[in-house]
A and B are shown apart, each in its own frame.
Chain A
């Protein structure tokens, strides 16, 4: 007889994001949302994951060359890690401020560039880590607790 497993769920999957291509912007977040819905996570957990994932995906498309999203589901948390290759963020404190944006006119015309993305990521994550290296890229790690 096999050893009885504990209630520990574990799932890991990676997704790729192409910088500069707004035709597919949001597709990774949409896939992640449907995975989480299929796994029957509570709607507020799915909602928080969708917001933080979407905002970081759009930032990679808007500002970086390419990126990867690593989705990891543990028994207590969902982690979304977004790593990009791009210019990096010179001043993270400034970038985190609501209203600060370097979005181009073209990006603003599509409704982005309000300077709210990073702020929203921070407020909808239960834990949030951001680090960046100039000329290399940016890494975000968002953790959402499954029991809210």
Chain B
């Protein structure tokens, strides 16, 4: 399944790198501790977090994440958006909280894979 489908199904707001929504999603990881995400997430994952600081872009780029979804309508900072556009990492925003969003994405991925 690619990001575009997830964006459509869940009504996510795409903040940057919309040219990369064809990225294939291999699974997901939910977390706000960068060391945890660094160690335990995988290539192609969609990362669900409430962190909005630009450091999330380096983590997503190093781990080859498909994209980042910010929960609770959190707004990424300008620095974050600039860096993510440069690194071609799509950042999306959802109004759901982490539990609900994670569950919905999990179900989507289970259904279609």
A residues apposed to B, CB below 8 Å: 22-23, 25-27, 29-30, 33, 43, 47, 50-51, 54-55, 58, 109-112, 114, 116-117, 120, 123-124
Q: Among the listed stretches B2-10, B13-21, B27-35, B102-110, which one makes contact with chain A, having 4 or more residues with CB under 8 Å of it? A: B27-35
Using A50-B62, A50-B63 as known contacts, say yes or no to A26 and B36 having CB atoms under 8 A apart.
Answer: no
The answer on a CB contact under 8 Å between A112 and B62 is: no
The answer on a CB contact under 8 Å between B39 and A111 is: no
Using A43-B43, A116-B39, A120-B39 as known contacts, say yes or no to A110 and B51 having CB atoms under 8 A apart.
Answer: yes
Contacts of B98 in A (CB 8 A): none
User: Top 5 closest A-B pairs, CB basis?
Assistant: A26-B58, A116-B35, A114-B33, A111-B34, A50-B62
Judged by DSSP, the binding face of B is helix
CA distance A50 to B55 in the complex (A): 15
B residues apposed to A, CB below 8 Å: 32-36, 38-39, 43, 49, 51, 53-59, 61-63, 79
Judged by DSSP, the binding face of A is helix
The answer on a CB contact under 8 Å between B58 and A111 is: no
The answer on a CB contact under 8 Å between A111 and B54 is: no
Contacts of A117 in B (CB 8 A): 35
